[in-house]
Amino acid sequence: MATKIAPLSGFPEWLPTDRLTEQLVLDIVRETFELHGFVNIETRAVEPVERLLGKGGDADKEIYGVSRLAGDADERKDSDLGLHFDLTVPFARYVLENAGKLTFPFRRYQIQKVWRGERPQEGRYREFTQADIDIVGAGELPFHYEAEVPLVIADVFARLPIGPYRIQVNNRKIPEGFYLGIGFGPEQVAGVLRIVDKLDKVGGEAVHAALVEFGATDEQARQCLALARISATDTSFVAAVRALGVEHETLEAGLTELAAVMAAGMEHAPGVLVADLKVARGLDYYTGTVYETQLVGQEEYGSVCSGGRYDSLASDGRNTYPGVGISIGVSRLLGRLVPSGAIASSRPTPTCVLVALNTQEDRAAAASLAAALRGRGVATEVAPSAAKFGKQIRYADRRGIPYVWFPPLEPGAAHSVKDIRSGEQTEADPAAWVPPARDLRPQLIADPQE
């Protein structure tokens, strides 16, 4: 009896047209990262479980373990490998292993699959693609890099037809210093951060109740919510925080640093960065500036790009390599935009020209012609059979190929090429013809139905 094939929930597979859209997005991401001086690396898919544990806050319980099915019990136990749940933890390990061969500050980008064993839903997958940038220093990393990385993302998104967005920015030192200033102990800060970080998802009343259950007084819970509700597109958030009357040196350091980030954003990407003091990020390793990015009008979808500063993630006990990074959730972003038709490729195939066949005996000549066109960068394929020209044109139309090339029917006659969208057919020189620049390769377009 044949086994029924069914998709695995949380492991998305694009059809060719949507995969082409994804590749076009990744090309823009890659090119923009390189324009900013980031170099590419790729790390292995697995890490020792002991390294993954304790690095990801709530992600600890989502780690996929890896073992060899044919191994004996001791071998499986000793392996203790897990699939990485992000690209920052393996990158930190990579830096430690290769520190003597790297030049610091080290600027890297990485585009790879990651895995998380969470409940699949819209925008949440078990296997998905991330695109990361990180800047890592040896011993120290100047603060100005925390202002730089969100501006790189602003450059990426400016080139993508994704509509309006905003990058929410906070500094972990602000809530940490604030919580210490209102009487929480150092050991309570991480727990309070996790509770407040859920404000958008569960609402103020639920957060207040969770804080009280955690051990906060009603007044402490009220103050935590007052801080979390401060937001500004300029540096006015500083005065708003100080008006709450809480003092702590860590709080002041965070305010100064976040104000510098916002000032850079106001100069280079006005209106894009928003100081949002409820943003904390769930991962435990962040120590300074943190980022989340939302599509305007689709805030309920959550963040599509996030990251932050980490000071101790890459450390071997003697040397520490602080860093700052940000990650685009490529699968998450496209999981919202592609099905809705908000973003697409201008055509469903890279092929620009289909060379028609008069007879099957003409296939060798058609292949030579196709090779000549490819030599000039024109993606070309030969018709699958010498069917009637009308059928060959319909084949090109179904594939989304814009041009059909017709070799001459008689020796010495001219070649011609037809734009099957407009119906216009003109003579063409096989040694020189190229399509208009807009047709040479597929392009990303927004709202293709409009």
pLDDT in tens, 127-142: 999 999 999 999 999 9
Domain count, the chain: 2
Residue 84 located in a structural domain: no
The overall longest dimension of the chain from CA atoms, in Å, is: 93
* Domain shared by 284 and 381, yes or no: no
The residue out of 302, 318, 340 marking a domain boundary is: 340
The residue out of 290, 310, 340 marking a domain boundary is: 340
Give the span between the Cα atoms of 98 and 280, in whole angstroms.
Answer: 30
Say if CB 363 and CB 355 are below 8 A apart. no
The pLDDT score that the predictor gives to residue 450 is: 46
Annotated binding site: 86-88, 116, 130, 134, 281, 285-286
The pLDDT score that the predictor gives to residue 159 is: 94
Residue 10 located in a structural domain: no
The pLDDT score that the predictor gives to residue 4 is: 83
CB within 8 A of 414, min separation 6: which ones? 408, 427, 428
Residue 11 located in a structural domain: no
* Domain shared by 252 and 380, yes or no: no
Handedness of CA 268, 269, 271, 276 (dihedral sign): negative
Strands 305-310 and 403-406: unpaired
* Domain shared by 336 and 440, yes or no: no
Q: What is the CA radius of gyration of the chain?
A: 27
* Domain shared by 135 and 188, yes or no: yes
Residue 85 located in a structural domain: no
Please give the C-alpha separations between residue 97 and each of 45, 92, 319, 323, 433, in angstroms, as whole numbers.
16, 9, 12, 16, 52
Residue 212 located in a structural domain: yes
This prediction has a pTM of 0.89
Side-chain-side CA neighbours of 49 within 13 Å: the count stands at: 15
Residue 51 located in a structural domain: no
Span 118-173, pLDDT tens digits: 888 888 999 999 999 999 999 999 989 999 999 999 999 999 999 999 999 999 99
* Domain shared by 218 and 122, yes or no: yes
Residue 56 located in a structural domain: no
Please work out, in degrees rounded to the nearest 5, the angle formed at the alpha carbon of residue 35 by the alpha carbons of 30 and 37: 100
Strands 343-345 and 444-446: antiparallel
343: its two tokens = 């973003």
The pLDDT score that the predictor gives to residue 310 is: 92
Say if CB 84 and CB 90 are below 8 A apart. yes
Cβ count near 83 (within 10 Å): 22
* Domain shared by 298 and 358, yes or no: no
Side-chain-side CA neighbours of 122 within 13 Å: the count stands at: 9
Phi-psi region of 442 (alpha: psi -120 to 50; beta: other; left: phi over 0): beta
Residue 220 located in a structural domain: yes
Domain holding 165: CATH number? 3.30.930.10
SS3 of 435, please?
coil
Annotated binding site for L-histidine: 86-88, 116, 130, 134, 281, 285-286
| Helices 204-214 + 189-196 axis angle, to 10 | 160
* Domain shared by 147 and 230, yes or no: yes
* Domain shared by 204 and 107, yes or no: yes
Give the span between the Cα atoms of 162 and 32, in whole angstroms.
Answer: 16
Say if CB 282 and CB 197 are below 8 A apart. yes
The pLDDT score that the predictor gives to residue 118 is: 85
| Helices 249-268 + 144-158 axis angle, to 10 | 40
The residue out of 340, 370, 404 marking a domain boundary is: 340
Please list the helix, strand and coil fractions of the chain in percent, rounded to the nearest 5, in that order: 40, 20, 40
The pLDDT score that the predictor gives to residue 405 is: 98
* Domain shared by 331 and 373, yes or no: no
* Domain shared by 103 and 231, yes or no: yes
pLDDT averaged over 10-residue windows placed end to end, the chain, 450 residues: 81 95 97 98 94 65 83 62 93 95 98 93 93 96 93 95 94 95 94 89 94 96 96 96 96 96 91 91 81 93 94 88 96 94 95 97 97 97 97 97 95 94 96 96 78
Phi-psi region of 201 (alpha: psi -120 to 50; beta: other; left: phi over 0): alpha
* Domain shared by 315 and 382, yes or no: no
Domain holding 400: CATH number? 3.40.50.800
164: its two tokens = 């309006």
Residue 418, domain extent: 353-446
Which of 96, 398, 401 lies closest to 382 in space, CA to CA?
Answer: 401
SS3 of 415, please?
strand
* Domain shared by 129 and 164, yes or no: yes
Instruction: List own/partner pairs for 358-366 with CB under 8 A and 24 or more apart.
Output: 358/386, 358/407, 358/409, 359/386, 360/385, 360/386, 362/386, 362/407, 365/407, 366/407
Strands 353-355 and 380-382: parallel
The pLDDT score that the predictor gives to residue 283 is: 63
Strands 273-276 and 165-171: parallel
